[in-house]
Amino acid sequence: MAKKTIADVNVKGKTVLIRVDFNVPLDDNGTITDDRRIVMALPTIEKVLDGGGKVILMSHLGRPKDAPDAKYSMKPTAVRLAELLGKPVEFATDTVGADAKAKVAALKDGGILVLENLRFQPGEKKGDAAFAGELAAFADIYVNDAFGTCHRTDASMVAVPKAMGLKPKVCGFLVEKEIKYLSDAIGTPARPFVAILGGAKVSDKIMVIKNLLGICDKVLIGGAMAYTFVLAQGGKVGKSLVEADKVDLAKELLQLAGDKLVLPVDNHCGDDFKADCNKKIVGAGAIPDGWEGLDIGPETAEKYADIVRSAKTIVWNGPMGVCEMPPFDEGTKKVAEAIAASGGTSIIGGGDSAAAIQKLGFADKVSHVSTGGGASLEMLEGKKFEAVEVLDNA
């Protein structure tokens, strides 16, 4: 998937339209609580500014219903970007309307403009060609630096680069890095290659598990989805979160996997879903009625850590338990520590895993923390992204 990047084009005097992923979390006061996605886009933005180009940034934020909604405005991201860059950032109160057009026309070399939320326009989610054409008309160069939405076919991801015609359409540095890490992990992993998959549902990760079983040396299972496998083996799960309708699927995976699929040998259980519940450690498949598994047990955590420590390539997606509620964060913590201590290439696949590795202070001790949970999962499934395919080949 070798694509041209922003480093391959001359941006001097050009207007560069960059699709970023500024879908950041906001509190009730509209304050950004985690600016990592903005920070990760800085190298691409600064490359254009340093090269004498003009920057127009477009993104979505949250899930507005195809119409303006003040609580999903991109304004806070423009304010934060200005703080990070130490220079003014213009903000357009619409996306392709009169304000956006006036501010694009007034933009000078070295200037930056953030457009209002793409999803305020119904054409964005529909992949509308007319809406895409209006955005494409703003710029001389298109850059995709929004890995978190690379698996989508929204207008800004696919129809806009198509509407650019023969104008350059390239990757930003973040998308280049994400694709390199994930495609290398799948295509040419150093071995042993270990995947750690957690979270609630087998159904969310079924295709990932199937694909990774064909590539990995070991696939370690944690989180609530482990209980569906326990049920498939005839074990007792008490009132643990399970997908009873996916038991046959779990049986099929167990048969397919042989000894590659590694399941918990013990569980940390509670009699209620709260931190101060009664707790006990029980063997896998021996969770009593009225109790629920809320984390992998200490024996499993040690076993998983041992496997991880000897790995040369590690992909982690999904926590091992209810990691936001101590003491049921112990399994996730133990696995994260082992990943950080391993000498291998370690890729953290977005979402809850990325949040956990940040919170535990290990983000700088792993090779790569993905900015896209859904996108990284789809890459691990072996899917191709049309949003990347439409960009110029290197």
The tokens describing 39, both together, are 């920070």
Q: Locate 262 and state its tokens.
A: 């590694």
The residue written with tokens 């009873």 in the block is: 244
Residues with Cβ within 8 Å of 326's Cβ and at least 6 positions away in sequence, in order, are 275
Please pick, among 97, 283, 374, 382, the residue that the annotation labels catalytic. 374
| Residue 62 region by backbone torsions, left for phi larger than 0, else alpha for psi between -120 and 50, else beta | left
CB atoms within 10 A of CB 279: 16
- 280 noted as active-site residue: no
Q: How far is CA 257 from CA 155, 160, 201, 211, 248, in A?
A: 39, 42, 18, 11, 14
CA distance 227 to 238: 10
273 in Cβ contact with 294 (< 8 Å): yes
Q: Cα 155 to chain center, whole Å?
A: 20
**Containing H/E element for 286?**
strand 286-287
Angle value at C-alpha 366, between 22 and 393, nearest 5 degrees: 55
Query: Does the annotation count 148 as an active-site position?
Result: no
Which one from 126, 201, 210, 365 is the annotated catalytic residue?
201
Rounded CA-CA distance 224/246 in Å is 13
**Active-site residue, from 37, 169, 246, 334:** 37
**Does residue 110 come out as left (phi exceeding 0), alpha (psi in the -120 to 50 range) or beta?**
left
At 51 the three-state DSSP class reads coil
Q: How far is CA 59 from CA 66, 86, 143, 271, 377, in A?
A: 14, 21, 12, 43, 21
Is 351 assigned a catalytic role? yes
Among 346, 122, 341, 315, CA closest to 205: 315
- Helix, strand or coil, per DSSP, at residue 17: strand
Catalytic residue among 321, 351, 372, 373: 351
201 belongs to the catalytic site: yes
* Catalytic residue set: 37, 201, 351, 374
